[in-house]
């Protein structure tokens, strides 16, 4: 077995490989592909016009953008996407590399977007020209992970080294803990057992379990007790969405969390708990607002268009810019002071793993660092948060999707192994690890199928009164022999199956009529199949806006951590060779199936996927329980 330091060194090299691969892939499209392909791939908007430029909190520049006709996919970007923004040449590339601006998408709706721009405002003369907006890679996160790896590799602190070694399952096995039984009104007995384990742990506690077992609820029960003891906690997760759920949970506990993160990446319901919002409530913020207003006026003077631009006008512009920058600098200094004070006095602070490197957290001491969704966290990212406290809690489900890793070399180097999986390897941390088995989400038939397929039959219904068994809560519809052959999308090469998509949507309409108020998810393993399904959904819904808003269709990854009343799964693959591609990652099927609360419908070619042992077993289990049907039962109608 490699030492912990050697393992981290291997991960450092894997991280380099992953960054290179991400940059290579993005550059291959942005630099080598035509503007048409870039727009089709969802990486570019062009042309783009700027409809307005204004100032927002912190003196940041906000641009209101509108995509031109045939300017790219409406959903090419999402809130929080890092982008490049520039005026393009005839090839659709930057006309001047020095003029490329960086920003973050704040909002996006249809063909319009708001972007928070880095640096100074754009000059007035350029506002109404044609621009191009490209996706860009986020090198900052890679740098932060590399720095965290270096810190933990080189640490000479004995306690820190012990935590590092324990996280990687090395050193002496942890002894059984002397726990004290606890009771909590919001937790079941199994959840209370874990809280008692965590409170007795010296360095590390692990909480794991399937979806719907209340992992986040259990964490919040622990947080509530820790707050009552006067302890400070740093709550984190890999994604902004997961952190925002923790914030909402803390609010329900009547604590006042401080949410660190760029305002554009915060859920609308938690913005008022963001660090910027806390700063705005401070009495001294009135001085900041005054300086910002004066700076904005100075910038407007500096960017005023002059028909006759001479020496005097040039000097006036320079003076106005200097005044604006000086005022912005003073305002920034005051905001930094207020931000540091708020974080220093906050009892519960929430941030993404990368956000735990925020300057306001440097030198801060927390009693606990809690990482939710740790099964989706790369270990180098978790190491960023781990620097902030002596005791660590990891929560998640190792049978859900792992971190997204694009490089084969990085996967071989262990980067795809999540922080939770590292901690659960072997029996080293068994005494501080606890699995929740009472689930509260899925209908009994759905739960039983998922339990037997993925969790060794350990799941049980935790509800005091189980819901009545729904008629046909699970359907497996086998399209074998129907001629629903898979195809390839010509530009991206992604797999699709138009005939299967059309058949699935017809079944969806039947179910939508049966469950008129239920939210429906349609999940497929391939982006091309998602696109085909969405086209069928749009056509089938016609002008029925209420029905269309009830249906969401995307890939498995997009639905992780979510739930829906009804879930349809399109397996997509149908070929003679039994090639199943992404479906070979069985955790994807687990994620897809366990999103469903009341009804689960799986549509696919059993002859193709059944050549794989796992899917053969899944279809056999469905048949044994009476869930299996042939598509011919509908096609003959």
- CATH number of the domain within which 123 lies: 2.40.30.270
Whether 457 is in a domain gets the answer yes
Question: Would residue 274 count as lying in a domain?
Answer: no
Domain contains 553:
yes
Distance separating alpha carbons of residues 438 and 191, to the nearest angstrom = 9
101/220 same-domain check: no
CATH number at 444 reads 3.40.50.300
Residue 97, pLDDT score:
63
Provide, rounded to the nearest whole percent, the portion of the chain with pLDDT above 70.
Answer: 95
Model pLDDT for residues 423-464, shown as the tens digit of each residue: 999 888 989 999 999 999 999 999 999 999 999 999 998 876
Residue 154 has pLDDT above 90, yes or no: yes
Same-domain status, 337 and 452:
no
Question: Domain check: are 117 and 177 in the same one?
Answer: no
Does the structure show a pLDDT above 80 at 316? no
155 and 44 in a common domain: no
614 assigned to some structural domain:
yes
DSSP-derived secondary structure for 103-124: EEEEEEETTEEEEEESSSPPPG
Buried-exposed string 461-481: b where 16+ CB fall within 10 A, e elsewhere: bbeeeeeeeeeebbbbbbbbe
DSSP code for 182: -
Which residues have a Cβ under 8 Å from the Cβ of 494 and sit 6 or more positions away? 488, 526, 527, 528, 529
Distance CA 522, CA 534 (A): 9
CA dist 525 and 357 (Å) reads 34
**What domain range includes position 297?**
285-305+312-343
What does the pLDDT read at residue 538? 94
Among 137, 160, 195, the domain boundary falls at 137
Most confident of 23-37, 65-79, 428-442: 428-442
Q: Are residues 118 and 150 in the same domain?
A: no
Number of domains present in the structure of the chain: 4
Kindly report the backbone phi and psi dihedral angles of residue 499, in degrees, each rounded to the nearest multiple of 5, phi listed first.
-65, -40
361 located within any domain:
yes
Coil/strand/helix, residue 502 = helix
The H-or-E segment that residue 32 falls in is helix 4-32
Residues 537 and 624 in one domain: yes
In this structure, what DSSP letter does residue 42 have?
T
Burial 214-247 (b: 16+ CB within 10 A, else e): bbbbbbbbbbbebbeeebbbbbbbbbbbbbbbbb
Q: Which pLDDT value is given to residue 469?
A: 58
Shared domain for 371 and 457, answered yes or no, is: no
Q: Summarize pLDDT for 77-131 with one digit per residue, the tens.
A: 877 788 988 887 766 667 666 678 889 888 887 788 889 888 888 877 677 778 8
- Are residues 398 and 332 part of one domain? no
Does residue 318 fall inside a structural domain?
yes
> Mean of the per-residue pLDDT values for the chain?
90
Q: In Å, how far from its chain's centre is CA 269?
A: 17
| 251 and 354 together in one domain | yes
Q: Higher pLDDT residue, 363 or 437?
A: 437
Range in 72-81, 145-154, 177-186, 519-528 the model is least confident about: 72-81
Asked if 585 and 464 sit in the same domain, the reply is: yes
Rounded CA-CA distance 381/374 in Å is: 10
- pLDDT value, residue 49: 87
Strands 368-371 and 348-352: unpaired
Q: Is residue 20 part of a domain?
A: no
Q: What would the two tokens of residue 543 be?
A: 């002008």
If asked whether residues 247 and 291 sit together in one domain, one would say no
Residues 352 and 490 in one domain: no
In a domain, 149, yes or no: yes
pLDDT of residue 305: 54
């Amino acid at each position: 077995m490699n030492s912990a330091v050697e393992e981290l060194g291997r991960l450092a090299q894997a991280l380099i490989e992953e960054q290179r691969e991400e940059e290579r892939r993005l550059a291959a499209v942005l630099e080598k592909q035509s503007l048409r392909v870039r727009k089709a791939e969802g990486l570019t908007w062009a042309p783009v016009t700027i409809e307005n430029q204004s100032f927002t909190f912190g003196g940041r520049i906000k641009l209101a953008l509108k995509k031109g006709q045939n300017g790219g996919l409406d959903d090419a970007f999402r809130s929080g996407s890092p982008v490049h923004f520039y005026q393009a040449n005839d090839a659709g590339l930057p006309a001047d590399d020095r003029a490329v601006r960086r920003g973050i998408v704040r909002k996006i709706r249809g063909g319009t977007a708001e972007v928070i721009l880095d640096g100074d405002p754009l000059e007035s003369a350029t506002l109404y020209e044609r621009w191009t907006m490209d996706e860009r890679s986020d090198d900052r996160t890679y740098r932060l992970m590399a720095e965290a790896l270096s810190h933990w590799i080189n640490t000479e602190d004995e306690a820190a080294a012990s935590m590092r070694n324990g996280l990687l399952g090395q050193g002496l096995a942890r002894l059984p803990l002397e726990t004290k039984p606890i009771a909590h009104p919001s937790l079941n007995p199994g959840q209370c057992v874990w809280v008692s384990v965590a409170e007795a742990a010296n360095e590390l506690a692990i909480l794991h379990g399937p979806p719907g077992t209340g992992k986040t609820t259990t964490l919040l029960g622990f947080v509530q007790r820790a707050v009552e003891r006067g302890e400070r906690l740093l709550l984190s997760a890999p994604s902004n969405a997961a952190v925002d759920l923790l914030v909402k949970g803390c609010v329900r506990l009547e604590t006042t969390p401080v949410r660190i993160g760029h305002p554009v990446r915060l859920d609308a319901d938690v913005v008022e708990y963001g660090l910027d919002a806390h700063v705005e409530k401070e009495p001294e913020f009135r001085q900041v607002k005054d300086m910002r207003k004066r700076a904005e006026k100075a910038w407007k003077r500096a960017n005023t268009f002059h028909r006759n631009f001479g020496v005097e006008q040039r000097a006036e512009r320079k003076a106005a810019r200097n005044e604006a920058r000086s005022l912005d600098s003073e305002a920034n200094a005051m905001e930094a002071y207020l931000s540091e004070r708020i974080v220093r006095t906050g009892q519960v602070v929430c941030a993404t793993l990368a956000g735990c490197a925020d300057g306001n957290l440097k030198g801060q001491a927390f009693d606990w660092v809690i990482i939710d969704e740790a099964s989706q966290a790369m270990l180098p990212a978790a190491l960023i948060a781990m620097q902030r406290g002596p005791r660590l809690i990891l929560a998640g489900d190792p049978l859900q999707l792992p971190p997204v890793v694009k490089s084969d070399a990085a996967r071989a180097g262990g980067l795809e192994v999540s922080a939770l999986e590292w901690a659960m390897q072997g029996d080293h941390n068994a005494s501080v690890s606890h699995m929740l088995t009472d689930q509260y989400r899925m209908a009994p038939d759905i739960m039983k199928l998922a339990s037997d397929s993925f969790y060794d039959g350990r799941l049980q219904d935790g509800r005091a009164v189980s819901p009545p068994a729904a008629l046909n809560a699970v359907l497996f519809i086998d399209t074998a022999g129907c001629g629903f052959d898979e195809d390839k999308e010509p530009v991206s090469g992604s797999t699709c199956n138009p005939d299967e998509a059309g058949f699935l949507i017809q079944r969806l309409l039947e179910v939508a009529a049966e469950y008129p108020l239920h939210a429906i998810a349609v999940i497929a393993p391939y982006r091309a199949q998602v696109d085909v399904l969405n086209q069928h959904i749009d056509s089938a819904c016609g002008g029925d806006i209420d029905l269309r808003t009830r249906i969401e269709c995307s890939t498995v990854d997009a639905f992780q951590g979510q739930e829906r009343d009804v879930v349809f799964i399109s397996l997509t693959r149908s070929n003679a060779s039994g090639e199943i591609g992404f479906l070979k990652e069985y955790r994807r099927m687990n994620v897809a199936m366990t999103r469903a609360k009341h009804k689960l419908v799986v549509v696919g070619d059993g002859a193709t996927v059944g050549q794989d042992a796992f899917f053969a077993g899944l279809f056999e289990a469905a048949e044994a329980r009476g869930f299996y049907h042939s598509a011919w039962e509908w096609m003959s109608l």
